[in-house]
Structures are given as C-alpha cells and as structure tokens.
Amino acid sequence: MLKSKSVLIGIGGGIAAYKVCEVISFLFQAGAEVRVILTETAEQFITPLTVATLSRHQAYTDHDFWQATHGRPLHITLAEWADIFLIAPLTANTLAKLTYGLADNLLTNTVIASRCPILLAPAMNTEMWEQATVQRNWQQLQDNPRYHSLSPGTGLLACDRLGSGRMAEPREIISSLQSLLYTQGTQDLKGKRIVISGGGTREHIDPVRFLGNPSTGKMGLALAEAASERGAIVTFIHGPIAPELLPLSPGYQSIAVVSAEEMEAAILSHFFDADIMIMSAAVADVKPIDYCDYKLPKKELPTNLQLEAVTDILAKLGEQKKNHQTLVGFAAQTGEIVKPALEKLKRKNLDIIVANPVDKAKAGFGSNNNQGILINKKEEQKTINSCSKLELSHQLLDFINHWRHSKIENG
C-alpha cells in the first residue's frame, strides 16, 4: 500500500514530534518516498538531521522556503509531488492557520498549494485542546473534505497532565495513511453502522487458566480502522488483543470482552441497528462445564475436562438478520477452503464469507498479512492474494459495497 508512494510530512512544534520519527522510519522501510517539512518551532524539538537521516532525503525548513536555490518555488514542487500529506503533531497555531487559510511559512503555503488528502494528528496539552477556540477550529476542519483527522487520545501528557490531547500513536497514523492512499479520502460508508468482532475469546477453568486460541485481534482491528476511515460508525467488540496494538483509537467505539458469552451479549445488543456485521473473531466452540473461582492447586486440576458447546453467535445473527442487514463471516480453514466456507455461508444464513486459509505462511493468526477468497451468497468469488490485513479489509469492504449495491439494484 505504501510502495513508491510520495508521502509528505509536516512536523509542528510539539514534543510529540519525536513520535513522528518512528512514522518516517517505518514509511521509508515500507518503500515509500518521504519528504519532510519542519516548522521553525518543530526545529526546537527535533533536528533536520534526524529526519533527513530517517527519510534518506534533505529535510525542508523555512530557511529553504526563502532561498531561490530550488528552481521552481519549493512549496509548489512539494505540493504537486505529494500523494498524501500528513501534519503531525498539529499544533493549536497551525490548526488556526489552516482554519483561516493563512500561509506564512513553508508548511502552510504547501497546504494551500496542494490538492492531495491531508491527514491531521493534533497534539496538545488538555487545557489547550479543550479551549473553545481550538475546538471550534477543529470542528470547522472536520467539515472540510480535504482534511482527515486522527483525534487525539487520552493519556499521560508531557506536561504531567493525565487527559486528552495525546497524539495518535505511530501505528495508528501509519494505518490511516495507508487507508487514505487506498480510498483517496472517499467516505463511501459515511453514516453506516458497522459492528466488527475481533480477537479470540477465552473460556476460563479458573481465574488463571483458560481454553483459548492464538488470535491477536489484528484482523478485526484492521477492519475497524478501514471502516472508520471510510466514514462508518464503527463498534469494535474484541477479545483480549496483542499489547502492541494498544491503545485503540478513540475514533470508534471499542468494547472489550473475554468469554464467548460476553461477546454474544455485546454483539446482540449492537446488532439490531447495524447495517453491516463482520464476524472476524475467533470464538471458542466449547467451554468447560465447571468454573472454579479460585486458582485450582495442581493436584486438583481435572484430568478429564468436561466441556459443553457455546452458542454459535454468527448462526444466531443469521436467524435474526433483517433484509437490509449484511452479515459477513470468516471461515478459518486448513486444506480445502472454498467448499467448507460455502457450507458455512449457507448454514449460518450469511451474505458473504471470507474463506481464510490459516495453514499458509503469511496468513491467519498473529500475522500482519492475510489472504483468502471472498464469496457472496450468489457464489461470486474474489481471490485476495497475500497482502496486509488492512488491504484485505479494504478489499472486503469493496466486496461488501458491491454486494449491497447489487441487492438494491435487483430489489
């Protein structure tokens, strides 16, 4: 998704500038071309040498803006060159300038000269972020289709305040950039309610032992990020997920559960007003009949674990599904994938299923990549070769849109 793409980054003057170095390093390693503009105050936090070293290219500052050494005006050249423009950290000052169309430095002149999608990642002290003027400016930019936003999260800030204003994490910024490059900012799911399940469930024997599976939640999270980038109102219901994926973005609602029973309750309470439900969670099939609420000593552990079936959540949703709702399942398979996936699609009354091989290298549990065959009720198929889980998510969302449109056209 990033290979050979031209990514322009504007760094503002805030301590979160150091986190952008990680973004630059990742983008370069992923094969993107990266150019960086530092504002005058950004240079107080990180140096042009740092970003030039990471991006393998000269970093630009206001000093370059006023030099005639680049032939064509630098802000025009950079603006035309960029496929996408990230501004991070976005300070209160630059935010205000963007709101009013001011252009008094290299960064803001390049914004005005450019046409590509712009991703904004603000970072501020809580009082600054919550200031009425800052919030008014931020809201105004939300209504402008040129700008795409990564709202700041809540956490410990460099001013020792625990509150909102913390810049989105590098992982989230990178994911958003990739989504924007894929969609070019099209919000084709605007206002649609999508419920996504992800991660594995755990069925406890006692407080420290459980039956589980190796799911990390990466697939569900990629779906949640892709759908919210396309304008959907996303609810992400997930089992325990890998620590490196945390914190989750405040850009969608996330609900943490542990057992299949908790997941079922959370999904059923959100399914009734969902337009689309994507069940990517690795839900347990069975649970221990008995639960002990203290840690069982080794010698008391059962040698034969008595198990009972848990509800098949997806099958239950298939029974409740209304005509306007699109129900999507994942079929984690080894060996032959299409036939069993089709059988599951029919048995659970689904619209779409992802036949997902979990015995291939670079696919399935824990991997950053995935592959599969998308199949709809009419048995139309689309093969997705190994790609990032984010790209597979976008391909699946395209496939869902195609299905929903063809259903409307055919009444």
Binding footprint of ligand CTP on the chain (CB under 6 A): 260, 279, 281, 283, 285, 310, 312-314, 329-332, 344
CB of 315 to ligand CTP, least distance (A): 7
Q: How far is CA 278 from CA 127, 233, 281, 325, in A?
A: 38, 13, 9, 11
Active site includes 116? no
Closer of 85 and 330 to ligand CTP (Cβ): 330
* Number of other residues whose CB lies within 10 A of the CB of residue 343: 12
* Number of other residues whose CB lies within 10 A of the CB of residue 227: 27
CB of 243 to ligand CTP, least distance (A): 23
Closer of 110 and 395 to ligand CTP (Cβ): 395
Judge whether 20 and 55 are in contact, CB under 8 Å.
no
Closer of 206 and 285 to ligand CTP (Cβ): 285
CB of 349 to ligand CTP, least distance (A): 12
Residues, the chain, total?
411
Q: How far is CA 211 from CA 118, 202, 214, 286, 332, in A?
A: 45, 6, 11, 9, 18
CB of 327 to ligand CTP, least distance (A): 10
CB of 329 to ligand CTP, least distance (A): 4
Long-range Cβ contacts of 39-42 (<8 Å, 24+ apart):
39/10, 39/11, 39/12, 39/13, 39/94, 39/105, 39/106, 39/107, 40/13, 40/105, 41/12, 41/13, 41/91, 41/93, 42/11, 42/12, 42/13, 42/14, 42/17
CB of 372 to ligand CTP, least distance (A): 12
Rounded-to-integer distance, Cα 326 and Cα 321, Å = 8
Closer of 27 and 281 to ligand CTP (Cβ): 281
Closer of 195 and 313 to ligand CTP (Cβ): 313
Rounded-to-integer distance, Cα 133 and Cα 137, Å = 6
Closer of 335 and 411 to ligand CTP (Cβ): 335
Active-site option among 21, 116, 159, 387: 159
Strand ranges (DSSP E) for 223-321?
A: 233-238, 253-256, 276-279, 286-288, 307-309
Task: Point out the residues that are catalytic.
Answer: 159
